[in-house]
Chain A
Amino acid sequence: MSELPNRKLSRRKLIGGAAGAAAVLPLLHEVVPHQVIHDQLAQAAGGGHEHGGAMAGMAHRGTAHSGTLGSVDPAVNGFDPHELLRDFDTGKVSREGGRTVRTFEIVAEDKEIEVAPGVKVAGWAYNGRVPGPTLRATQGELIRVDFVNGSSHPHTMHFHGIHPARMDGVPQTPPGNVEPGGFFTYEFEAEPFGLHLYHCHSVPLADHIAKGLYGAFVIDPKQGRPEADEQVMVMSGFDTNFDRANEFYVVNGVAFAYHDKPIRVKRDELVRIYLVNITEFDPINSFHVHANFFDWYPTGTKLEARDFTDTVILGQGERGILEMRFPYTGKYMFHAHVSEFADLGWMGFFEVVD
Chain B
Amino acid sequence: MEASGATVERSGRLPAWLVGLLPLVLLGAAIGLFAALGEPGLAERNGIPVERLSVERTVLRPGEIELAVRNDGPDAVAVRQVTVNDAFVAFSQSADEIGRLDGDKIKIDYPWIEGESYAVGLVTATGGTIAHQIDAAAETPEADVGFYGLMALVGLYDGLIPVAIGMLWLPWVRTIDRRWIQFLLALTLGLLAFLGVDALLEGTDIAAGGAQSLGGASLVFLGAGIAYLGLAGIDAWLRGRRTKAGEAGAGPWRLAFLVALGIGLHNLGEGLAIGSAYAVGSLALGAALIVGFALHNTTEGLAIVAPVAEDESSSVRRSLPRLAGLGLIAGAPAILGTWIGASAFNPSLAAILFGLGAGAIAQVIVQIAPSVRDASGRLLHPLAATGVVTGLLLMYATGLLVSL
Contact partner of A3 (CB less than 8 A), chosen from B50, B62, B110, B114, is: B50
How far, in angstroms, from A8 to B83 measured CA to CA in the complex?
A: 21
Contact partner of B109 (CB less than 8 A), chosen from A58, A61, A247, is: A61
Please indicate the chain A residues that have their CB under 8 angstroms from the CB of B109 in the complex: 61, 65
How far, in angstroms, from A118 to B88 measured CA to CA in the complex?
A: 13
- B201 CB to nearest A CB, Å: 27
How far, in angstroms, from A345 to B126 measured CA to CA in the complex?
A: 17
Please indicate the chain A residues that have their CB under 8 angstroms from the CB of B139 in the complex: 56
How far, in angstroms, from A82 to B321 measured CA to CA in the complex?
A: 81
How far, in angstroms, from A133 to B347 measured CA to CA in the complex?
A: 52
The answer on a CB contact under 8 Å between B86 and A343 is yes
CB contact under 8 A between A61 and B62, given known A5-B48, A119-B123, A238-B127: yes
- B7 CB to nearest A CB, Å: 55
CB contact under 8 A between A121 and B88, given known A3-B50, A6-B51, A56-B139: no
Check A68 for interface membership: any CB of B closer than 8 A.
yes
Contact partner of A117 (CB less than 8 A), chosen from B80, B91, B96, B113, is: B80
How far, in angstroms, from A190 to B77 measured CA to CA in the complex?
A: 49
Check B170 for interface membership: any CB of A closer than 8 A.
no
Contact partner of B49 (CB less than 8 A), chosen from A6, A51, A58, is: A6
- A157 CB to nearest B CB, Å: 26
Interface string of B26-51 (1 = CB under 8 A from A): 00000000000000000000011111
The answer on a CB contact under 8 Å between A2 and B111 is no
Check A46 for interface membership: any CB of B closer than 8 A.
no
Contact partner of B88 (CB less than 8 A), chosen from A3, A59, A66, is: A66
Check B236 for interface membership: any CB of A closer than 8 A.
no
Check A63 for interface membership: any CB of B closer than 8 A.
yes
The answer on a CB contact under 8 Å between B86 and A1 is no
The answer on a CB contact under 8 Å between B48 and A4 is yes
Check A7 for interface membership: any CB of B closer than 8 A.
yes
Check A240 for interface membership: any CB of B closer than 8 A.
yes
The answer on a CB contact under 8 Å between B126 and A5 is yes
- A131 CB to nearest B CB, Å: 19
The answer on a CB contact under 8 Å between B126 and A56 is no
Check B124 for interface membership: any CB of A closer than 8 A.
yes
Please indicate the chain B residues that have their CB under 8 angstroms from the CB of A119 in the complex: 80-81, 123-127
Please indicate the chain B residues that have their CB under 8 angstroms from the CB of A121 in the complex: 126-127
Please indicate the chain A residues that have their CB under 8 angstroms from the CB of B88 in the complex: 66-69, 116, 255-256, 343-345
Contact partner of A60 (CB less than 8 A), chosen from B62, B89, B91, is: B62
Residues 251-265 of A contacting B (Cβ, < 8 Å): 255-256
Check B235 for interface membership: any CB of A closer than 8 A.
no
The answer on a CB contact under 8 Å between A2 and B51 is yes
Residues 112-156 of A contacting B (Cβ, < 8 Å): 115-121
The answer on a CB contact under 8 Å between A2 and B127 is yes
Check B218 for interface membership: any CB of A closer than 8 A.
no
How far, in angstroms, from A256 to B96 measured CA to CA in the complex?
A: 22
Check B394 for interface membership: any CB of A closer than 8 A.
no
Contact partner of A118 (CB less than 8 A), chosen from B81, B111, B115, is: B81
Check B90 for interface membership: any CB of A closer than 8 A.
yes
Contact partner of B127 (CB less than 8 A), chosen from A53, A57, A241, is: A241
How far, in angstroms, from A241 to B121 measured CA to CA in the complex?
A: 11
Check A340 for interface membership: any CB of B closer than 8 A.
yes
The answer on a CB contact under 8 Å between B78 and A118 is yes
How far, in angstroms, from A350 to B124 measured CA to CA in the complex?
A: 30
A-B contact pairs, 8 of them (CB 8 A): A7-B125, A8-B97, A9-B78, A11-B96, A57-B113, A69-B90, A240-B123, A340-B87
**Which residues of chain A have a CB within 8 Å of any CB of chain B?**
1-9, 11, 14, 25, 51, 53-54, 56-61, 63, 65-70, 115-121, 238, 240-241, 243, 247, 255-256, 340, 343-345
**8 cross-chain pairs, A with B, having the tightest CB-CB distances, nearest first:** A2-B128, A240-B127, A61-B63, A118-B80, A343-B87, A6-B49, A4-B126, A60-B62
A-B contact sample (12 more), CB < 8 A, given A61-B62, A256-B88: A1-B128, A6-B48, A8-B125, A14-B96, A54-B113, A57-B110, A57-B113, A65-B89, A69-B91, A70-B80, A247-B127, A345-B88
